[in-house]
Chains A and B, each alone.
Chain A
């Protein structure tokens, strides 16, 4: 529940926490406690977090499966890259432009697919992602075709490796925090409740006066915008683009991240996206077997953890601090909690509970 008294507390704590994490990560990178490679991975993870969160907005919160997010990323990436290379636009403008262009695509797909749900929507969005790729291959004068676009200038070029790495990381991290704030604040508002009610039961939702079509398109468009910005960052991060970077398997990966993290959990998505980025790199030695390992891991996780890492709950720092203050974590409390937990587990085992 939201109330005025907690407002300052919440904003202060969250700003403080994200700044502290940010500064720590910067220091670690600056003094090479974490290698340049790890720094790169962290930055890439940030981009994955942004795109996964945007997907969570429609899949987790609105309850619609989209397999077109690599396509959205692709639109954003190319728009941003072209804006920078061909028109010399500054990075922030190019990123926003990428977002807007992708949002237009989102709107164009969102409206006609309104009536579709489940598998049908998934297949349509999958098709969209592939169409985007084909278009980009064939628009060679603008996009460089299958060969791709090269020479996208990076965030900074100071000549100092570490400074460049830190600036690159800062760009992604700050935008990621903004995206988290936007989605969190939207979801925890009347508009957000309307969006979630669609996932829960769309007939009940419309019967309670929620304009379901409007909110579906709204979520879709906003999601596309954010994915487009993520795509723009991706383009600048790698410095080159080609259509193969946005195959449908990437869309599937984002769905995997959202499902693993827990549909409708922001913190779950963040954790899953970071873990996923690392796994993807570590498993590179297995080459194509990587996919088999991923598939198996996914099946096993879904059997034992069907609601994903977090379900639809959130890890809450402010909530945690409040609990600390209220003595919730006194040794005695923890002991009773632990006992309750063990009892619950025990009951689950003999299959009589629930």
Chain B
């Protein structure tokens, strides 16, 4: 065979081989497989029940198993007993953790969010680089995970009168942010309410953002760790949600909660910047939650098409090609955003917004394609549709993502640099 033939042969036969945007380290790939296996073998069989009975029972068994695999601690640096390295953050961003979340989301976005919200709760402590807070709380999380009695974290910014306003600087300056921490000698007295907090009813460690000066508003926003069991802290209503029902969203009530100064994360007044950094870091993984669910819906749709003998129909192929093209495109941008650290606001917003819009479109179309079967409860596809809608809302609605993009994208905002040239 001539060299030319060999080369052509190579080109013709290797066309299915796609490189991921970056090669994953072997241990990450291994963990991904492990999580996939666990999710399919152990979580999938109970997904329907989790969806039905969510408000009654929290799936601690799943959390315990997740803790064994390292899902609660992989983000935490080894200094504090975790499995991660600070350097990893700079090299890969949140990509490795987010890919694990994607695996969980393929089976149940609600379960994915239990772990996702935990990581979100940890992020302010990690990103603040407050060593004291890290030693106090991150070590506690790793110790608990190791002991078999895992403790979860949560992240609380949303208030009844400030949802989008807690996500967007323009709104926040005009917002009615009512959670307030009054400084005393050696402690703060925290009063107010947060709502819709994922893991709020089950978390032991909650990163809560509050103003320390009513006049200054977000300029005085500060992050505190509120611990379960603190006097004056209670859980209010637990929401009855349309989807992602395995993950509880709760109202948190603070009535004269005495929060020790040692529970402050970072400096006083640093809260708003820390909040934005946290959100920019956590938004891209939401894209993976959305796409995980969408991929699962497509898989179910394909199974249905095969069962009905429709897979050879070119119109059906067209429908699926269209959906998968969008997923592929969205996944590329989410991958890119997740592996960018420090995060870039416009890229994070793009990833979250685009992926969740694509996922919503895809899930809706799979339900439609399956017709009567698509809307039947228990078929996993209707659940994907319900679950995915939330990804367009939390971590900032998709309208707020566009505002965040506009604030940051070079050339879109007059304060900014010239228009980005590719």
Chain A complexes with chain B: no
- Contact surface of B with A, Cβ cutoff 8 Å: none
